[in-house]
């Protein structure tokens, strides 16, 4: 009796320890962010750093508010977000479809695999001028750019997951006389949901890279355009504000995919 | 010698099963009797539609090819499986035990010979066979009831649900229908795997070392469970294992295969302990004798 009481007290202590550590970590996380911003502002206010070159949190806020007022921020952020989401969805759907085709046709896979690997190694940004000439300098070119960056890695990682499906489970379906389509639907796709989700996670980042690079090249609209324009006319406030907005949007999209992963992991994650 | 004696005694004592004992006795004959094997084959072919025999595995050879050359994996392998029988196949590792099961279920095509199930020579026998593998291979994203019905779904068989659920209920898994495999113990999962195999009502069960992935304690239980389920449901089964004691505790008859190319080296008839449960068999004085007999036959494989 005494022993169990002792035990539970100790266990309480242990649980408290874990909780305290968790609180400490998140305090430090936010603390770091606040300290950096405060220090930045303080140094800019006191003139220790030149806010013309470094901008400052208060100036970023002012720029943000004025951009919001004339609505241009929403316009540019909207364009970038649209391009990113479209290329992200296209990369995911096309990538999965191509991976399925390559899984299905052995010869096709064997023929194309080295080409895909080389294409994957190529810095896709080098294709920028070609894409602009072929597709035209506009939203299309930016989406193609982002697609190029994320598609091939999606195909390769998804295909890799498809090829590594549990051999025992494939044998089981073989003993049941399953067709290739049944193997795909009952085993290969469901067992690769985690693989596809982790490809999504990588794609979120890559599509942002592709979109911003595309906007740098095309220079018509979007946050990437604001950044490159701000840089050219030396308006660091504009550059910093656009970067912060970009940061927040990318984080939100990542959180969304991470949530999706958590949801899916509950069902497909365990093996 | 002693074993032949045992078989004969059993035949004398129990006239009813004499036909079956006779058959095993026939298979029992050693190499010296090889000469008149062809005659016997003819006799067997005549008895093809004999209700006693479910599977005719006739003179099957298999050569397979890979980069390093060709290998004769199975050579002129010939045996029968009787209806309602639990036939064990033991042999040195790599002798092609699993290959034999794959040939029966027609996953692998033999180079020579043929396999007949239920008197019917079919190209694809997978619909007649239920295969149970070493690991349970339950799909983690499906519930137990979905897993159990997977075979029926793949084979597009309608109306298997009631039967499958009845089996789950009967063998203590009724409360776990909506659970996921990760929530079950290893022994329970293996029982689910067996019920998944039974759900398509196969004529023949093929068990490929189905207990290999379990720890010893669990294995003893699951061997008992699987044995009683197979016997309860009156199924015919071929059971491949490298574990001699497991074979003795489950089977009605055991074929000992030689090392590659696989041939039937000897047949052990276990009818004297047939009515005992696996645990009871392990306690039987005959158990050790059978064990030594099989062990010896597996040892002197080189001559």
Q: Tell me: the pLDDT tens digits for B208-265?
A: 888 877 788 888 888 888 888 888 888 888 999 888 888 888 888 888 888 878 778 8
Range of weakest confidence among A65-69, A202-206, B218-222, B250-254? B218-222
Do residue A186 and residue B139 have CB atoms under 8 angstroms apart? yes
> In chain A, whose CA is at the least distance from the CA of B146?
A186
CA distance B101 to B89: 10
A56-269: which CATH topology? MetI-like fold (1.10.3720)
Per-residue pLDDT averaged across B128-142, rounded?
Answer: 88
pLDDT at A191 over 50: yes
Q: What is the pLDDT of residue A91?
A: 93
Q: What is the pLDDT of residue B303?
A: 45
Distance from CA of A176 to the nearest CA of B (A): 6
Do residue A171 and residue B133 have CB atoms under 8 angstroms apart? yes
Do residue A172 and residue B141 have CB atoms under 8 angstroms apart? no
Higher pLDDT, A250 or B17: A250
Do residue B154 and residue A182 have CB atoms under 8 angstroms apart? yes
The pairing of beta strand B236-240 with beta strand B86-90: parallel
CA distance B229 to B224: 9
List of residues 6+ apart from B298 with CB closer than 8 A: B90, B91, B92, B244, B256
Interface test with B, best of A166, A171, A175, A187 (most B CBs within 10 A): A175
pLDDT band at A248 (very low <50, low <70, confident <90, very high): very high
Q: Tell me: the pLDDT tens digits for B146-202?
A: 999 998 888 888 888 888 888 888 888 888 888 888 888 888 888 898 889 888 888
Do residue A190 and residue B154 have CB atoms under 8 angstroms apart? no
Q: Coil, strand, or helix at residue B106?
A: coil
For chain B, domains (ranges, CATH) are 2-128+203-302 (3.40.50.300)
Do residue B180 and residue A271 have CB atoms under 8 angstroms apart? no
> In chain A, whose CA is at the least distance from the CA of B140?
A271
Q: What is the pLDDT of residue B300?
A: 64
Contacts of A168 in chain B (CB under 8 A): 133-135, 137
Contacts of A177 in chain B (CB under 8 A): 124, 126-127, 154-155
Q: What is the pLDDT of residue B50?
A: 53
What b/e string do you get for A173-198 counting C-beta neighbours within 10 Å, with b at 16 or more? bebbbbeeebbbebbbebbbbbbbbe
Across the A:B interface, residue pairs with CB atoms under 8 Å apart total 53
CA distance B111 to B103: 10
Backbone angles phi, psi at B249, to 5 degrees: -75, -15
Helices within B127-185 (DSSP H only): 144-148, 150-154, 161-170
Do residue B139 and residue A171 have CB atoms under 8 angstroms apart? no
CA distance A76 to A222: 4
Per-residue pLDDT averaged across B119-128, rounded?
Answer: 78
Contacts of A171 in chain B (CB under 8 A): 133, 137
What residue ranges do the domains of chain A occupy? 2-49, 56-269
Contacts of B206 in chain A (CB under 8 A): 175
| Cα-Cα-Cα-Cα dihedral sign, residues B281, B282, B286, B292 | positive
Contacts of A267 in chain B (CB under 8 A): 141
Tell me the longest C-alpha to C-alpha distance in chain B. Answer: 58
CA distance B24 to B42: 16
Strands (E), A218-261: none
Q: What is the pLDDT of residue B8?
A: 40
Q: What angle do CA B176, B181, B185 make, to 5 degrees?
A: 80
Chain B residues at the A interface, defined by Cβ less than 8 Å, are 105, 107, 124, 126-127, 129, 131, 133-135, 137, 139-141, 150-151, 153-155, 180, 182, 200, 206
ipTM comes to 0.73
Strand-by-strand arrangement of the B112-117 sheet:
B69-82, B53-66, B112-117
Contacts of B124 in chain A (CB under 8 A): 177
pLDDT band at A170 (very low <50, low <70, confident <90, very high): very high
Higher pLDDT, B132 or B297: B132
Q: What is the pLDDT of residue B7?
A: 40
Do residue A187 and residue B153 have CB atoms under 8 angstroms apart? no
Q: What angle do CA B271, B274, B277 make, to 5 degrees?
A: 160
Per-residue pLDDT averaged across A67-87, rounded?
Answer: 90
**Strand partners of residue A142:** none
CA distance B184 to B173: 10
| Cα B204–chain centre separation | 9
Other beta carbons within 10 Å of B42 = 10
Backbone angles phi, psi at A18, to 5 degrees: -60, -45
Do residue B133 and residue A186 have CB atoms under 8 angstroms apart? no
Do residue B139 and residue A190 have CB atoms under 8 angstroms apart? yes
Do residue B155 and residue A172 have CB atoms under 8 angstroms apart? no
| Cα-Cα-Cα-Cα dihedral sign, residues B47, B48, B52, B58 | positive
Higher pLDDT, B29 or B62: B62
DSSP state of B156: T
Q: What is the pLDDT of residue B119?
A: 74
């Amino acid at each position: 009796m005494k022993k169990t009481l002792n035990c539970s007290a100790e266990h309480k202590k242990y649980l408290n320890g874990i909780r305290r550590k968790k609180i400490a970590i998140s305090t430090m996380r936010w603390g770091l962010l606040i300290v950096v911003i405060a220090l930045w502002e303080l140094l800019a206010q006191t003139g220790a750093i030149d806010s013309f070159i470094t901008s400052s949190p208060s100036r970023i806020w002012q720029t943000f508010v004025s951009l919001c007022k004339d609505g241009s921020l929403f316009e540019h952020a909207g364009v970038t977000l649209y391009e990113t989401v479209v290329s992200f969805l296209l990369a995911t759907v096309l990538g999965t479809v191509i991976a399925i085709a390559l899984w299905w046709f052995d010869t096709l896979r064997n023929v194309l695999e080295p080409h895909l690997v080389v294409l994957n190694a190529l810095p896709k940004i080098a294709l920028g001028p070609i894409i602009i000439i072929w597709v035209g300098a506009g939203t299309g070119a930016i989406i193609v750019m982002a697609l190029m960056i994320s598609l091939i890695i999606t195909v390769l990682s998804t295909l890799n997951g498809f090829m590594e499906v549990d051999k025992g489970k494939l044998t089981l379906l073989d003993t049941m006389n399953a067709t290739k389509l049944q193997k795909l639907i009952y085993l290969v796709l469901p067992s690769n949901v985690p693989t596809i989700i982790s490809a999504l996670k990588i794609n979120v980042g890559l599509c942002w890279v592709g979109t911003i690079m595309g906007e740098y090249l095309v220079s018509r609209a979007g946050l990437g355009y604001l950044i490159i324009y701000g840089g050219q006319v030396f308006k660091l406030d504009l550059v910093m504000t656009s970067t912060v907005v970009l940061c927040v949007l990318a984080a939100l999209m990542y959180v969304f995919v991470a949530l999706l992963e958590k949801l899916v992991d509950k069902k497909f994650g365990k093996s | 010698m002693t074993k032949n004696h045992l078989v004969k005694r059993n035949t004398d004592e129990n006239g009813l099963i004499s036909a079956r004992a006779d058959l095993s006795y026939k298979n029992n004959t050693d190499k010296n009797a090889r000469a008149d094997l062809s005659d016997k084959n003819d006799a067997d072919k005549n008895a093809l539609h004999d209700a006693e025999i479910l599977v005719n595995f006739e003179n099957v050879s298999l050569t397979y090819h890979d980069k390093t050359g060709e290998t004769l994996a199975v050579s002129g392998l010939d045996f029968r499986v009787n209806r309602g029988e639990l036939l064990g196949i033991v042999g040195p590792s790599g002798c092609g035990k699993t290959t034999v099961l794959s040939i029966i279920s027609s996953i692998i095509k033999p180079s020579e010979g043929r396999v007949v199930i239920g008197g019917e020579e079919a190209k694809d026998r997978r619909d007649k066979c239920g295969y149970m593998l070493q690991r349970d291979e339950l799909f983690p994203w499906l519930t137990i009831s979905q897993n159990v019905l997977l075979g029926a779904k793949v084979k597009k068989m309608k109306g298997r649900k009631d039967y499958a659920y009845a089996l789950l209920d009967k063998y203590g898994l009724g409360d776990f229908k909506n659970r996921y495999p990760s929530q079950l113990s290893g022994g329970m999962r293996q029982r689910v795997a067996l019920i998944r195999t039974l759900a398509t009502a196969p004529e023949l069960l093929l068990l490929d070392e189905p207990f290999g992935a379990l720890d010893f304690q669990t294995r003893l239980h699951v061997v008992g469970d699987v044995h009683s389920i197979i016997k309860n449901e009156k199924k015919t089964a071929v059971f491949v294992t490298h574990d001699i004691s497991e074979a003795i505790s489950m089977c009605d008859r055991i074929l000992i295969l030689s090392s590659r190319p696989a041939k039937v080296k000897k047949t052990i008839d276990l009818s004297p302990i047939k009515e005992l449960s696996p645990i009871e068999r392990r306690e039987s004085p005959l158990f050790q004798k059978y064990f030594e007999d099989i062990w010896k036959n597996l040892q002197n494989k080189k001559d």
